[in-house]
Amino acid sequence: MKRWLRPALLYGVPLVIFAAAATVWITGGRYVDTDDAYVKIDKLPVSVDVAGTVREVHVKENQRVATGDPLFTLDRAPYEVALAKATADLARARTDVRALKASYREQQAQIALATTRERFAGKEYRRRADLATKGYVSAISLDEAQEQVDLAHQQTIALEHDLARISATLDGSVDLPVEQHPEYLAAAAALAQAKLDLARTTVYAPFAGVVSKLPKVGAYLAPGTAALALVGGQPPWIEANFTEKDLTHVHAGQSVEVRFDIYPGRSWRAVVDSISPATGAEFAVIPPQNATGNWIKITQRIPVRIELLPDEGTPGLRAGLSAWVKIDTGRR
């Protein structure tokens, strides 16, 4: 036994060491990995478009909802009152426009009558003037006839001015349908806005997901206020932060192995989707200022988006879970 043990150790151990070294040399630059990776899921703060007090919450904390499911409802009473007022304003606008049209036509009739009276007064003046030349009519009677002509003319002018004012109110077109009149259109727009505001008192899920941070009944919400968070929408992905040196040979489409701390002993297949155009520091609220005398070089990390491949047996993943990823660069 000792005869073959010595040659085995003499030749076998170096072969194992050589094989291990060769494996490391061949694959050493092929794979890059990091445990600075986390699960990301679309998160949308759902806000309100109208102000109001929360009257009813239709869902529970961490409940899964479908697109279009009602989430909560604000107090509808003020908006129902506004809708009733807008409806009344539209009816009044219709009546006002019709009244203006009727007034316009009545004014036209008054002008026609005034014009007839002015013509008659002119004829009467000319008749008296002819008689006055013959000595049959006194100068006072002629002056009275002239006064009637002037009064009739002034009345006609006043009526024409009133007609022009009514025409301007009717946007210059008496024959324009009531529904196309500016006053009616403004009232119709106000009614549409009132209906929209009332509809917006109930907030619906913009996409399927899980709701969180629900508002409390009785809470007052101003327009634009984030009322709750909706997590979901798109399938989860991984955001892995690699050092800049690790990304020399990484590009989109390369295969990835992913493991999650929450599920030890199990791995997922994935692919590199995209690489961020800038380091994480560049997206910081206060980017680092290196133009100082106290500069220290720090290795930068660049976010890489990794898409998980479909797997029917995949357990649920939650935003923020820690992960370990290994990218196969294919480099020999």
Mean pLDDT score of the chain: 81
pLDDT given for residue 21 in this prediction: 47
Task: Mention every residue, 6+ apart, whose C-beta is less than 8 A from residue 113.
Answer: none
One DSSP character per residue, 35-94 reads EEEEEE--EEEEE-SS-EEEEEE-S-TT-EE-TT-EEEEE--HHHHHHHHHHHHHHHHHH
Would the pLDDT of 3 be above 70?
no
What count of other Cβ atoms lies within 10 Å of the Cβ of residue 159?
Answer: 19
Report CA 322 to chain centroid distance, whole Å: 33
Q: For the chain, where do the domains classified as CATH 2.40.50.100 start and end?
A: 44-75+203-232
Would the pLDDT of 144 be above 90?
no
One DSSP character per residue, 146-189 reads HHHHHHHHHHHHHHHHHHHHHHHHTTT-TTS-GGGSHHHHHHHH
Residue bearing tokens 């020399």: 248
Q: 44-75+203-232 sits in which CATH class?
A: mainly beta
Quick one: DSSP state of residue 3? H
Q: Between residues 138 and 212, which one has the greater pLDDT?
A: 212
pLDDT given for residue 25 in this prediction: 45
pTM for the whole thing? 0.63
% of the chain at pLDDT higher than 70: 73
Identify the CATH number of the domain defined by range 79-196.
1.20.58
Work out the average pLDDT over 160-176: 63
**Cβ proximity of 303 and 241 under 8 Å:** yes
Work out the average pLDDT over 84-95: 89
CA–CA separation, 88 vs 78, rounded Å? Answer: 16
Task: Mention every residue, 6+ apart, whose C-beta is less than 8 A from residue 249.
Answer: 29, 329, 330, 331
- For the segment(s) 32-42+234-328, the CATH number from 3.90.550.10, 3.40.220.10, 3.40.710.10, 2.40.30.170 is 2.40.30.170
